[in-house]
Amino acid sequence: MHVSGVLRFDALTKDGVQILQEFEQRTLPGVHFTFGPLPGRALMFWDSTASLAEVSHLIDLIATNHDLFER
């Protein structure tokens, strides 16, 4: 199976941005991040070489931790 995608995160808190930056530093194959231009905004891109387990883990981490988003 070959899957690719993009997610946009809006209104991330400082901790939310830090978590994404930590994932970015892990240099996971096929997963890339772009931050900004607005504070708290990030894009996550993944291609078919990415581990779907890693992508799913990150999405779950962000989705279930509401403290990572501004209210």
Cα separation, 61 vs 39, in Å, equals 20
Contact 48, 4 (CB under 8 A): yes
- In tens, the pLDDT along 11-42 reads 999 988 998 999 899 988 999 999 999 999 99
CA 4 to chain centre: 14
- Per-residue pLDDT, averaged over 33-62, amounts to 90
pTM of the complete model beyond 0.75: yes
Phi-psi region of 64 (alpha: psi -120 to 50; beta: other; left: phi over 0): alpha
Locate tokens 């892990």: which residue? 26
The pLDDT confidence band at residue 57, using thresholds 50, 70 and 90, is confident
Residue 66 has pLDDT above 80, yes or no: no
> Residue 17 carries which DSSP code?
H
Mean confidence (pLDDT) of the chain: 88
Residue ranges covered by each domain of the chain:
5-66
